[in-house]
Amino acid sequence: MSEQNPAPQQANEDYSPSRRAFHLAVINIFGALIGLALAVPTGIYLLTAPRKRGGTKWIDAGDVGQINPGTPVELSFQESRLDGWRLVTEKKTAWVVKNTDSSIVAFGPQCTHLGCAYHVENGQFVCPCHTSIFSLDGKVTAGPAPRPLDRYETKIENNRLQIGDLKQQA
């Protein structure tokens, strides 16, 4: 409001320019303080992540002892996560591939292009949407997919696959 330049006060001699300047300064400073006191908490309220409550990181996805090397298997598992104030349990899936050295890779079930669910065709992962094709190690061999398939963090306990967070691959 400091840009205001209204006509000089009519016939009000006690309203001196210095008084007017003081009033303008107070209006601007107080206005700015109120604005800040509302804007900063609102920014924090909208932009910071809510307090995290504990949850277990590793989810059991089943026995992987019987999986044949080189044959992708779709495993499903239940994940509980906090959706705001609700604890929701969702069914999730992973494409699991056992390598010849018995190491296990679990891929996220969505194409890295636009998130369609892909399937297995002739020993490779094929996305039905825009025909991106991934090899069994997740690399893009054809189509518009910009990066290899996302992988879950995994570990094996007593032959059972434990699934962790989904991580993007460079």
Partner 1 sequence: MGDKLKQLLDEIDHRTGIVSGLHHFLNEDIPASSGWHQIFGSVALFLFMVQFFTGMMLGFNYAPTPGDAYSSVRYIMTEVTGGRLIRGLHHWGASMIIVIVVIHMLQVFIWGAYKKPREATWIVGVVLLLLTLAYGLTGYLLPWDNRAYWGTVVTTQIGATVPMMGPYVSRILASAGAIGVQTFARFYTMHVQLLPPLTMILIFFHVFLVRRHGVAPAPGDELKPKKKFFPEQVFKDTVAVFVAFAILFTMAVMAKVPLERMADPTDTAYIPRPEWYFLFLFQTLKAFEGPLEVVGTVVLPTLAIVALILTPFIDRGKLVAVRQRTLAIGIVVLAGIGWGGLTGAAVKSTPPQTVASSIDFAGPTQWMESAPNELAGIGYYRREKCGACHNIEAGTTAKSGPNLVNTARRHDADWLLTHLKNPAAASPGSSMAPANLTDAEMKDVQAFLLKLTPDNAEVVDTAPDFAVQGAILYQKNSCGACHAVNGVGGKIGPALNGMSQRRNEAWVIEHFVNPKKVSPTTPMPPYNFKQPDMQNMVNYLFTLAARAPGQ
Minimum Å distance from CB 166 to partner 1?
A: 23
For residue 129, count CB atoms less than 10 angstroms from its CB and return exposed for 0-12, middle for 13-18, buried for 19 or more.
middle
Cα–Cα distance, 108 to 111 (Å, whole number)? 8
Q: Which residue has the tokens 């009033």?
A: 23
Minimum Å distance from CB 153 to partner 1?
A: 20
Minimum Å distance from CB 84 to partner 1?
A: 6
Minimum Å distance from CB 58 to partner 1?
A: 15
Binding residues for partner 1 (CB under 8 A): 1, 3-4, 6-7, 9-12, 15, 20, 23-24, 26-27, 30-31, 33-34, 37-38, 41-42, 44-46, 48-51, 53-54, 84-86
> Which one, 20 or 167, has the nearer CB to partner 1?
20
DSSP track, 97-133: EE-TTS-EEEE-SB-TTT-PBPEEETTEEE-TTT--E
> Which one, 27 or 142, has the nearer CB to partner 1?
27
> Which one, 41 or 128, has the nearer CB to partner 1?
41
Minimum Å distance from CB 37 to partner 1?
A: 6
Cα–Cα distance, 149 to 19 (Å, whole number)? 69
Instruction: List all residues 6 or more positions away from 117 whose beta carbon is below 8 Å from its beta carbon.
Output: 109, 110, 111
> Which one, 46 or 170, has the nearer CB to partner 1?
46
Cα–Cα distance, 72 to 96 (Å, whole number)? 5
> Which one, 29 or 114, has the nearer CB to partner 1?
29
